[in-house]
Structure 1
Amino acid sequence: MFVEYPCWMPVHCLSDIYCFIFQGHTFLIAAVRPLKVLSSAVLGGEKQTVRYIFNHTVDRDYASPHPERDLAALAGRMGLGEQAVGLMTAVDVRHTVSQVEQHGELVVAVFATAGVANLCSAGVAAPWPPGERGGCAAPAHAGRGDCGVQAPPVQTGFSGADREEGGASGRFGQQYRPGTINIIVLVDGHLSRSAMVNAVITATEAKALAVQQAGLCLPDGRPATGTTTDALVIACTGRGPLLPYAGAATVLGSMIGGAVYRAVEQGIDRYRAAKGG
C-alpha cells in the first residue's frame, strides 16, 4: 500500500514529483518524467536516468550478502520496473527529513535519513568496528589519536551486506552497528554531468560539516566526517537552462549545501532523540 508522504514543500515549487511511503518501510520519490541521476545507490548506482528513487528500512540485524537483489525484488513488488535506484537504511524512513531551497525558478529539495552509529573520518582514520580490534593492521598514518588511543584496523573484503546498513560480520569476523547517512538531492533544473559531480562534492562537504558541528567524534577524539556506509543520490529534472557548475561559490551550490546541512543536522537530532540521548 502506498501512502502519500506528508507535504514536504509548497505544492507550486515542483510539479510532477510525488513522495510516498510504501507499507511503512520504504520512502519513494516518483517522477512523471525521467530524472537524470548520479548516485552511489545500492540498486541502480550505474543508471543515468530513472523515474523512481527509494530509501528502504531494513532490520538492524539485516545480513544479506546480496542487498542489491533484495532491493530489486522490492522494486518489483512496488511495480517500479528497471527505472529505479534504491538505498538501504536501518533508520525508520517515516522519519525522513526534508529541506527545500528556492531561488527564482530554481528549486532544490533534499531528503535525508541519518544513522550515526558507525562513524568514520575519511582520509584520517580507519573505520572503528565497535568492540573489536582484530583484522588487518592500520595504515601508518592512522597512528595514535590525540587521546592516545590506538587507531582502529582497516578491513578489506567486505560482502555487500557489510558495506550497507546493518551489515553482518566481515571476513575477519568484525561486526558493524547499523549507521548510514542517506541523502537524496533533487534539483528542479538542468545540471551538466560535471555540475552533478560538483553537487556530490558540495553535498558531501555539507554533510561532513553537519556531522562535525553535531560534535560526533571517533573513539580517539578526532572529528567524524560521516559513516562508513553513507550513500548519495543527485537527481535533476532537466528543466530550464543548462547549469554547468554546482560548487559552493554558485547559487545552486549554496542551495544544495544549505539544504543538505540542515537535513543532516535535523536527521542527527532525530536519531539521537530516538536513541534517548
Structure 2
Amino acid sequence: MSVIIPIKGVKFLIDNKCLALKFEKKWFSLSSAVLNGGFRKVKTIVNYQVDKDFSDENPEAFLRKVLRNFPKPIVGLMTAADITKFSLKTIRGNLPICALVTAGISNAASVGEKINRMQNLSTINIIVLVDGCLSEACMVNLIGTITEAKSMALIDLDVRSKFSGEAASGTTTDAIVVACRGKGEKIKYAGTGTKLGMLAGKIVREAVKESLRKQGFSPNRPFIQRLEERGISLNQIIDFILEYKPELKSFSKEEIRKIIEEALKDVNVVSLIMAGLRLEEDKAKGLIPGMKKNIDSTLIDKTFGVYIAKLINGDYGAQEFFNLHKTKLLKISKLGVFSRSVIEGLLAGVSSKLKAIG
C-alpha cells in the first residue's frame, strides 16, 4: 500500500500487522502508548494489530518483542481494530499537520461510568504529527484538544457505551501520540481557540469518523441497530409482543421481525422514536425546565406513542397504544417515561397490524 506523508523526512509503512511511521531524524513525542509512553525522542511510531482474543499480562513486553526489528527509539501502540482501515488526514501550508487514526468501538464507554472488564482491544488510536516546534505544555494541551475532537466524532456518529447505552466519549483503551520535529518558532498553546488546535481538531474529528465508517460503522446504519445500542433489542420487542398478545404466536418470529423492520423504514416513525429517546436523555440530565425527574406521565409522552402507533396502523394502532399503555406491562429495563412511550407506540402499531393480518 503506497501512502505518502506530506511531511519531509517521514515515511509510512503498513505490513505484517504493523502500521508504522519512520523518521529520518529523531522527533519529540508525548503519548499514552503501551510501549515507551510519556515524553520521548522517537525514530519510529508503530500501531500493532493484535488478535481479537489477545490477552497478555505484560503487553509492554509483548510489544517490545514483536517490534524489536524497528529503528529505535520506538513508541508502540496496539489495537484489535483492522489497521488497514486507517484514516489519514493532512493540513498543508506553513504548519503541516497529519492525523493518522485506526478506530474500533467494541469497548466504547462513557467517561465516569462503571466499567466491566473487557478483553477486546478494538481501541481508537490517534497519531498526530506537527511539522513544527511545540513546547511540552503545548503537547499536553494538544492531547487534550485531540481527545475533545475524538469525543465529538463519536457524538457525530451517535456512538453509545457498550456498558450503559449512554453517549460514548471514547473506548476503555484509547491512546494518543503527538509528535513534532522540534524546529522553528516555538508554539506554546494548542487549545481549541488556537490555530494549531483548530486545525488538528478538525482533521482528527474527520479521521476518527472516516476510520469508523471504513470499519463498517455507518451513520446510516439500520435504526434497529441504534435501538440495540441503547439496550433495546429486536428480540426483546418480539418477545414482548408475544407476551402481550399470545394469540399472535401463530406468527413466526421472522414474520414479526419483518413487520417491525417495515415499520422502521418510515422516516416519520423513526424520527418520533428518536425524538422521544433524545427527550428522555435531556429529562434524565435535568435539562427540561420545570420537569421533575420522577414524573409519571405527561401529555407529551402519550402524544409520541399514539402518533407512532397511528403511523404504523392508523386508528387501530392508536387505540391499541392506549390499551397497552394502561397495562404497564413493558419490562424493557432502563426505560423512562418518554422512551417507554415511543417503544409502546412501536409495539402497539406492530401488534395491531399483525392482528389485522391474522
Tell me which interval the TM-score lies in, with the shorter structure as reference length: 0.7 to 0.9
> In the alignment, is residue 208 of structure 1 matched against residue 151 of structure 2?
yes
TM-score, normalization by structure 2: 0.58
Partner of 1:48, secondary structure, is strand
> Residue 188 and residue 120 in structure 1: after superposition, are their counterparts in 2 closer, same or farther (change >3 A)?
same
Structure with larger RCO (C-alpha < 8 A, sep 6+): 1
**Superposed displacement of residue 220, structure 1:** 3.7
Partner of 2:176, secondary structure, is strand
> Residue 273 and residue 46 in structure 1: after superposition, are their counterparts in 2 closer, same or farther (change >3 A)?
closer
Q: For residues 4 and 104 of structure 2, what CA distance do their matches in structure 1 show?
A: 21
**Structure 1: runs of 5+ lacking an equivalent:** 130-173
Q: Percent identity?
A: 35
2:122 pairs, out of 169, 179, 189, with: 179
Q: For residues 43 and 73 of structure 1, what CA distance do their matches in structure 2 show?
A: 11
> In the alignment, is residue 74 of structure 1 matched against residue 66 of structure 2?
yes
**Superposed displacement of residue 64, structure 1:** 1.1
Q: Which runs of 4+ in 1 moved over 4 A?
A: none
Q: For residues 8 and 226 of structure 1, what CA distance do their matches in structure 2 show?
A: 28
Tell me which residue corresponds to 2:114.
126
Tell me which residue corresponds to 1:45.
37
**Superposed displacement of residue 239, structure 1:** 2.2
> In the alignment, is residue 95 of structure 1 matched against residue 108 of structure 2?
no
> In the alignment, is residue 246 of structure 1 matched against residue 190 of structure 2?
yes
Q: For residues 64 and 39 of structure 2, what CA distance do their matches in structure 1 show?
A: 14
Question: When you count helix as a share of all residues, which structure comes out higher?
Answer: 2
Partner of 1:272, secondary structure, is coil
**Counterpart code for 1:126:** K
**Superposed displacement of residue 37, structure 1:** 0.5
Partner of 2:208, secondary structure, is helix
Q: For residues 269 and 22 of structure 1, what CA distance do their matches in structure 2 show?
A: 22
Contact 2:54 2:119 in 1 (8 A): no
**Structure 2: runs of 5+ lacking an equivalent:** 222-358
**Counterpart code for 2:102:** T
Please give the per-residue CA displacement for 1:206-264, whole angstroms capped at 9, x wherever unaligned: 00000111111125442100000000001001122111111111111111101100110
Tell me which residue corresponds to 2:12.
19
Contact 1:202 1:257 in 2 (8 A): yes
Aligned length: 219
**Counterpart code for 2:172:** T
**Superposed displacement of residue 70, structure 1:** 1.1
> In the alignment, is residue 271 of structure 1 matched against residue 215 of structure 2?
yes
Q: For residues 249 and 196 of structure 1, what CA distance do their matches in structure 2 show?
A: 15
Question: When you count strand as a share of all residues, which structure comes out higher?
Answer: 1
Map 1:3-18 to 2 at 5 A.
Answer: 5-9=1-5, 13-18=6-11
> In the alignment, is residue 86 of structure 1 matched against residue 76 of structure 2?
yes
Partner of 1:258, secondary structure, is helix
Tell me which residue corresponds to 2:23.
31
